[in-house]
């Protein structure tokens, strides 16, 4: 039996990022840069005004005061997007707006709120204060210099980064390919939603829940039909899944019961099992292996165990396959609103809710068949074996989101 950390290390050591592809920037949200992204331009591309006002020569206003305003003649008009082609000569100014390119010669901008046109002479603008050189000016390359790095490999294309790349005029980016993932549910008792439930049967629920987690981690999921507890059927289902996917995830049938065929089926079709037991609750039976460069995860059937092990062990692998640098779950420190007790001999990833004040509460019954508590939970707290974490203790919540 290995620890969660050893399991994760073995898994990540086996993952080589999938080949990169060039995709449209508009499709890159949530994916990961496969190479450095450099800026083809300076941002801003030219010196420009940060306000609506008048571009001037600062020296012209050296003597300006409320009592003795200086008048400058408006020599031109430069709305955003139109450059004034002349230059600002002594005694003149040019009307500019936020983002207007600074006219040649100008070395400052005065806000329009601070000036007045001379009565009867709308082109004579009165200035009542000095201005410091380069006031209200934004400079070429001040934000981003041409050819500098906008993104490093493995960084995620977030909404904010996409805004920066769009501003730099980038329209195609190199991304790690999304993994194709097959979700194979095993169990004679499982039924599809619209089937009648005879005694002993239950509705299958892992594939939907896990496929949403997989989608949030960037994978594209395929869902084959349910598989009965039978060696031949399991081998057939696994072979089909490996033929079309980079990653195969099964649920159920991975423990030590006579009806648990998954591990045997995987090795009989040529898979190499790396480990099949992790010292954690929920989720002790958890198999990981490889077959022809593809990854295999055998998850326990209990829905809560399947969700937790997917989150802790499969999600990081899916992210790394896409080239992600940071594969850790989002973490949030929180004080416990009540004690969390783990009397068992394995660490327990207990489901908690977070209240508006950021305190963590037990989400309810912590047994691995209790879906309702997990459904309302915001995340997990790792409680060591034979330990009660007291109320007030500050813990780290691994957030589902």
Among all residues, whose Cβ is closest to ligand AMP?
301
Q: Candidates 129-137, 195-203, 245-253, 272-280: pick the segment binding Mg ion (CB under 5 A).
A: 245-253
Q: Is residue 279 a contact partner of residue 4, using CB atoms and an 8 Å limit?
A: yes
Question: What is the Cα–Cα distance from 399 to 157, expressed in whole angstroms?
Answer: 20
187 is a site residue for Mg ion (CB under 5 A): yes
Question: What is the Cα–Cα distance from 369 to 42, expressed in whole angstroms?
Answer: 57
Site for ligand AMP in 158-187 (CB under 6 A): 185, 187
**In the block, residue with structure tokens 């460069």:** 293
Residue 209's binding partner out of Mg ion, ligand AMP, none, with CB under 5 to 8 Å set by partner kind = none
285 is a site residue for Mg ion (CB under 5 A): no
The H or E element that residue 294 is part of is: strand 294-299
37 is a site residue for ligand AMP (CB under 6 A): no
Site for ligand AMP in 204-223 (CB under 6 A): 204-206
Residue 136 vs 368, nearer CB to Mg ion:
368
x-marked contacts with ligand AMP along 229-268 as a string, rule CB under 6 A: ----------------------xxx-x-------------
x-marked contacts with Mg ion along 296-325 as a string, rule CB under 5 A: -----x------------------------
Q: Which two tokens stand for residue 358?
A: 């950021």
303 is a site residue for ligand AMP (CB under 6 A): yes
Q: Candidates 37-45, 130-138, 201-209, 355-363: pick the segment binding ligand AMP (CB under 6 A).
A: 201-209
DSSP 17: P
From 302, 342, 362, 366, residue interacting with ligand AMP (rule: CB under 6 A): 302
Q: Is residue 103 a contact partner of residue 96, using CB atoms and an 8 Å limit?
A: yes
253 is a site residue for Mg ion (CB under 5 A): yes
Least distance from ligand AMP to the Cβ atom of residue 300, Å: 5
Give the residue from 204, 219, 172, 186 showing the smallest Cα distance to 314. 219
DSSP 327-362: -SPPEEEEEBSS-EEE-SSSEEEEEEEE-TTS-EEE
Residue 107 vs 229, nearer CB to ligand AMP:
229
Residue 91: φ, ψ to 5°:
90, 0
Residue 303's binding partner out of Mg ion, ligand AMP, none, with CB under 5 to 8 Å set by partner kind = ligand AMP
Least distance from ligand AMP to the Cβ atom of residue 283, Å: 10
The H or E element that residue 12 is part of is: helix 4-13
Q: Is residue 74 a contact partner of residue 95, using CB atoms and an 8 Å limit?
A: yes
Q: Is residue 146 a contact partner of residue 39, using CB atoms and an 8 Å limit?
A: yes
252 is a site residue for Mg ion (CB under 5 A): yes
Least distance from Mg ion to the Cβ atom of residue 271, Å: 19
Q: Is residue 217 a contact partner of residue 319, using CB atoms and an 8 Å limit?
A: yes
Identify the bridge partners of residue 336 per DSSP, sorted by sequence position.
360
Least distance from Mg ion to the Cβ atom of residue 188, Å: 7
Question: What is the Cα–Cα distance from 279 to 283, expressed in whole angstroms?
Answer: 8
Residue 49 vs 309, nearer CB to ligand AMP:
309
Please give the residue ranges that form the binding site for ligand AMP (CB under 6 A): 185, 187, 189-190, 202, 204-206, 251-253, 255, 300-303
Residues that bind Mg ion in the complex, under the rule CB under 5 A: 187, 252-253, 301
């Amino acid at each position: 039996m290995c620890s969660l950390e050893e399991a994760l290390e073995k898994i990540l050591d086996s993952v080589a990022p999938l080949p990169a592809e060039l995709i449209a920037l508009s499709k890159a949200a949530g994916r990961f840069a496969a190479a450095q992204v450099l800026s083809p331009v300076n941002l801003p591309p030219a010196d420009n005004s940060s306000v609506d006002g008048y571009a001037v020569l600062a020296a012209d206003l050296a003597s300006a005061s409320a009592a003795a305003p200086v008048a400058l003649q408006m020599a031109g008009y430069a709305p955003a997007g139109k450059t004034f082609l002349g230059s600002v000569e002594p005694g003149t100014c040019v009307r500019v707006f936020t983002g207007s390119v600074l006219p040649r010669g100008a070395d400052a901008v005065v806000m329009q709120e601070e000036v007045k046109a001379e009565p009867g002479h709308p082109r004579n603008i009165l200035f009542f204060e000095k201005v410091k050189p380069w006031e209200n000016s934004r400079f070429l390359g001040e934000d981003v210099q041409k050819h500098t790095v906008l993104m490093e490999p493995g960084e995620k294309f977030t909404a904010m980064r996409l805004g920066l790349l769009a501003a730099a005029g980038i329209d195609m980016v190199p991304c790690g390919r999304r993994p194709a993932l097959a979700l194979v549910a095993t169990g004679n008792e499982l039924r599809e939603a619209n089937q009648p439930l005879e005694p002993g049967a239950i509705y299958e629920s892992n594939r939907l829940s896990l496929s949403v987690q997989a989608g949030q981690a960037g994978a594209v999921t395929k869902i084959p039909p349910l598989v009965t507890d039978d060696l031949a059927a399991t081998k057939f289902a696994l072979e089909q899944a490996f033929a079309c996917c980079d990653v195969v995830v099964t649920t159920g049938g991975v423990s030590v019961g006579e009806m648990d065929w998954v591990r045997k089926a995987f090795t009989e079709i040529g898979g190499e099992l790396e480990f099949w037991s992790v010292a954690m609750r929920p989720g002790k039976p958890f198999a990981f292996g490889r077959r022809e460069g593809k990854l295999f995860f055998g998850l326990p059937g209990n829905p809560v165990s399947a969700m937790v092990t997917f989150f802790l062990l499969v999600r990081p692998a899916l992210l790394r396959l896409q080239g992600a640098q940071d594969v850790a779950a989002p973490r949030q420190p929180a004080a416990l609103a009540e004690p969390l007790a783990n009397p068992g001999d394995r660490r327990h990833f207990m489901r908690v809710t977070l209240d508006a004040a950021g305190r963590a509460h037990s989400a309810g019954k912590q047994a691995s068949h209790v879906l309702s508590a997990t459904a309302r939970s915001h995340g997990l707290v790792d409680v060591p074996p034979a330990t009660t974490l007291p109320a007030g203790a500050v813990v780290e919540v691994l957030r589902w989101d």
